[in-house]
Every structure is written in structure tokens, then in C-alpha cells.
Amino acid sequence: MSGKPKLHYCNARGRMETIRWLLAAAGVEFEESFLETKDDLTKLQKDGSLLFQQVPMVEIDGMKMVQSRAIANYIATKYNLYGKDLKERALIDMYVEAIIDLNELLMTHTFQPADKKEQHLATIVDKATNRYFPAFEKVLKDHGQDFLVGNKFSRADVQLLETLLMAEECKSDILAKFPLLQSFKARISNMPTMKKFLSPGSQRKPPLQEKDIPKLMKIFY
Amino acid sequence: MAGKPKLHYTKGRGKMESIRWLLAAAGVEFEEEFIETKEDLEKLRNDGVLMFQQVPMVEIDGMKMVQTRAILSYIAAKYNLYGKDLKERAWIDMYVEGTTDLMGMIMYLPFQPADTKEKNLALIIERATTRYFPVYEKALKDHGQDYLVGNKLSWADIHLLEAILMTEECKPDVLSAFPLLQAFKGRISNIPTIKKFLQPGSQRKPPTDEKFVAIVRKIFNI
């Protein structure tokens, strides 16, 4: 008997947050085991639980899955969030990979040294508003549908919402020029499982704060 | 009518090389259009054919696909190199992400400052021999089969061979402690489509040298 998926990571967003989003979107309850110290990580490594000695690791369906993309792919397929055929999957993958690129930029913002922060923010805003958001605004405009791919809710919608919200945390009016993304954001946020995940008390993690960084560094370095 | 896939990239390996490997292994003929100057890249951007203004881009089955992993997943699935079910797919994905991380380190090596090269090379070899290769050696040992997943050739095998050869270019005896990987390398290299790709005159690209680094920097403004 499988039981609930169990997530092994630190008590932070990082590379596990998208997985939390996808499980939540699919309405799947999950447990979490948080790494608090280096010893916690070492224990998992010595147990042989981490294929490449790294987290995220998710215990799911008898497997100890690692590599965030592999885990996300598995969850998306299992819970029908990955399109109906190869071509829809291709579109979803293209969108998701770009979203992950933007997400990486956003995620690293808190780690920037003080003298690089302003320029990094400028890069984020430039890439978001000149490269990524226009592409997704156009997708929505061209087909006029509620969801990015195949007129059906998929991981692409979940991951885009996640990233739109993170981008707004960096600059609150970053969606000003993108009316369709604004309504997309509202629409997807209102879906029952998403609404639940966005409410206080859910397993969604807050933005990383500078004061939390030393503790995280101690676990991994 | 679909026609052959057409690859848009520079003449180097970079992020397109794994795609070349996979198409070649699947026995799929492909064309290439090379970006040689900044203007070539600008033209593609202005033509509106690069969804996120980036390459790799592959014209395939009526799509202009971008994003390396999206392209690779599509090719793998289309040509039955992605396992038979969800669980096999999960293992293939895990293994491929590992080899992607290793090859990513090697790919960036020529672009790093000269004074960090030795240290970065040492890190690559350490990761290869203590983090990545042991995993694949153990996988082969545990099931005793010829291929990594499901007793059948998959994307994971092709990607691992590519990673092994790239790492050997960094250190020729890097497989010395991994007898099963040595046998794996011999075996997979001998598959007819792959053997052909490994011969002179194929579309496989050579390692990136300093001269090419300068060209790439100009094209991408990095």
C-alpha cells in the first residue's frame, strides 16, 4: 500500500515548491519531512535514499524519486495534467521549460549580494516582460481559451500561475501590460484545489528571506 | 508532408548535441542550418520563429520546437525510446537528469575563466566518479541487463553513452573503476545507428575549442 507521497526537502520553496503546487493542483494530500541540519541530509545520503545524493526526493508509489523534473513529469502524467497526446505534451513541455527558466531567475534573487540585487531585479523584469510574458499572453490571445494547452487544465497552467505570483512578489505591477495573464491568474487561482493551496494554512511555502539563508547554506555546504 | 527535422543552432555541440545523438540513434535523418553570426540569430528572432528568442530550435512535424528538454522528450517518445509505461519513464527521466547535470558541467568548462579551469575540471571528475558513474554502474549490476531501463534501448542509454564519451575527453581513463560501464560503452557504441554517428563524416560535432568559444560569445553576446 503506497500511502501519501512524502516529500524530503528543507522547509522552503526551492526546487520542491513546483512539486507541492502540482500535487496540490491534483488534489493529492502529501506529507513532508524537513531537513533542518546537515546531519539530516547526511543521514538520507548514508541511507542510500538519494540516487545522486541530492534532494528533492519524493517517496511515491514505492519509489524514492529524485530530480525535480522527473518527479514533476511523473506526477503530471499520473494525475492527467500532461495533455492528451504527444503534441499537447510537446507544447506543455516547451511552456514549462521556459517557465522553469524564469522561475530559476526569480528563485536566485534573494541569494544575490546586496550590490548586485538591483541589476538582478532589472534582468528579471526585462526577461519576464520582454521574453516570457509576451509569449504566454500571445498563446492565450491566439486561441482565446481558458487554459494554455488543449482547452484543459494542465501542469503548464499550474506552473505559470506559480511563476506569475513569484514574479509579482519581486515587482507587484509586473503584469501591468498583460491583461490576459492577469485574468488567467485570477481564473486559475479560483479553481478549487488552487484556491485551497493559496489559502493560509496550506503547505505552500513563503518567499525566502535573507535571514533564512545561513541556515540553508549550513545544510548543503 | 513532414520532411526531415531541421535543426537551428551553431556548429558546436552546446545544447543541441544531445538532440543530434538522439535523432541519430533513432535512425532519423536530419538537416541543419547553422547560426554563424549575431545577424543570423537576429534574423531568426525577427522572423518570429523562436518562441522565447532562444535556440536550440528544431522544425519537426509541423512545429517549431524550442527548449532542449521538450525537444528531446518529444523525439524519445515518438521513436519509442522512452520506456513502455509511466514507471519506466520515471527511471529514464531520473537517469537522464543525472547525465544532463554532468554534461552541463562539461559544456560550460571552455567558457570559464582560465584560472578556474583546473579546479572545475577536478570537480567534474569528482562528480563523475563519485556521484554519477557509480549510480549507473550499480543499475547495470543490479539487473544484469544490457540496457539501463526495461531491458530495451532507451534515451537513458544514449544519453549515458554521450556523457561517458564527453567525460573521457576530459580524462581518458575516467571509467577505470567501472567495468560494467566500460562494457556498456562498447555495447551501445556498436549499435548500428550509433556506430554510424560515431564515425568521421557524421553530424556529430567536435569538442568546443577556444576559437569556437570566441565565436559563440559574439553570437550570443555573452
B7-40 per-position pLDDT tens digit:
999 999 999 999 999 999 999 999 999 999 999 9
Give the mean pLDDT of B102-129. 96
Are the beta carbons of A52 and B70 separated by less than 8 Å?
A: no
How close, in Å, is residue B135 to chain A by CA atoms? 7
CA dist list (Å): A193 to A20, A185, A202, B92: 12, 14, 11, 30
Q: Examine the pLDDT at A1 and tell me if it is beyond 70.
A: no
Cis before B134 (ω within 30): no
Mean confidence (pLDDT) of chain A: 97
What whole-number distance in Å separates Cα of residue A136 and Cα of residue A180? 9
pLDDT for B205 = 98
pLDDT in tens, B55-74: 999 999 999 999 999 999 99
Give the mean pLDDT of A53-80. 98
Residues of A with CB under 8 A from a CB of B: 51-53, 61, 63, 65-67, 69-70, 73-74, 77-78, 86-87, 89-90, 93-94, 96-98, 101, 131-132, 135
Chain B residue numbers with beta carbons less than 8 Å from the beta carbon of A67 are: 93-94, 97-98
Choose from B97, B127, B154, B155 for mutation: most chain A CBs within 10 A: B97
Structural domains of chain B, ranges and CATH numbers in brackets: 6-79+198-213 (3.40.30.10), 86-191 (1.20.1050.10)
CB A19, CB A72: distance < 8 Å: yes
Residue A123: partners with Cβ closer than 8 Å, 6 or more residues away: A105
pLDDT for A2 = 55
Residue A173: partners with Cβ closer than 8 Å, 6 or more residues away: none
Residue ranges of E strands in chain B: 6-9, 31-34, 57-60, 63-66
What whole-number distance in Å separates Cα of residue A157 and Cα of residue A160? 5
What whole-number distance in Å separates Cα of residue B187 and Cα of residue B72? 23
A48: cell is 542510500
One-letter amino acid at B176 equals S
Are the beta carbons of B74 and A77 separated by less than 8 Å?
A: no
CB A167, CB A124: distance < 8 Å: yes
Please determine whether the domains at A6-79 and A86-191 fall in the same fold group of CATH.
no
Chain A residue numbers with beta carbons less than 8 Å from the beta carbon of B132 are: 52
What whole-number distance in Å separates Cα of residue A38 and Cα of residue B50? 43
What whole-number distance in Å separates Cα of residue B34 and Cα of residue B12? 9
Does the domain spanning A6-79 belong to CATH 2.160.10.10?
no
Give the start-to-end residue ranges of the domains of chain A: 6-79, 86-191
CB A82, CB A26: distance < 8 Å: no
Chain A residue numbers with beta carbons less than 8 Å from the beta carbon of B66 are: 94, 98
pLDDT for B2 = 59
**Confidence (pTM):** 0.97
Q: B residues 170-199 near A, CB within 8 Å?
A: none
Q: Examine the pLDDT at A80 and tell me if it is beyond 90.
A: yes
B115 CA to centre of own chain: 27
Q: How far apart are the first and last CA of chain A?
A: 36
What whole-number distance in Å separates Cα of residue B13 and Cα of residue B1? 29
Are the beta carbons of A90 and B52 separated by less than 8 Å?
A: no
Q: Examine the pLDDT at B1 and tell me if it is beyond 60.
A: no
CB B35, CB B10: distance < 8 Å: yes
CB A156, CB A92: distance < 8 Å: yes
CATH for the A86-191 domain, from 3.40.50.720, 3.40.50.150, 1.20.1050.10, 1.10.1740.10: 1.20.1050.10
Minimal-distance CA residue of chain A relative to B100: A67
Are the beta carbons of B70 and A97 separated by less than 8 Å?
A: yes
Q: Is the dihedral of CA B148, B149, B151, B157 positive or negative?
A: negative
pLDDT in tens, A113-154: 999 999 999 999 999 999 999 999 999 999 999 999 999 999
pLDDT for A22 = 98
Q: B residues 49-78 near A, CB within 8 Å?
A: 51-53, 61, 63, 65-70, 73-74, 77-78
What whole-number distance in Å separates Cα of residue A64 and Cα of residue A21? 19
CA dist list (Å): B75 to A143, A193, B33, B58, B201: 26, 33, 19, 11, 23
What whole-number distance in Å separates Cα of residue A70 and Cα of residue B82? 13
ipTM of the complex: 0.97
Query: Is any Cβ of chain A less than 8 angstroms from the Cβ of B45?
Result: no
What whole-number distance in Å separates Cα of residue A130 and Cα of residue A197? 29
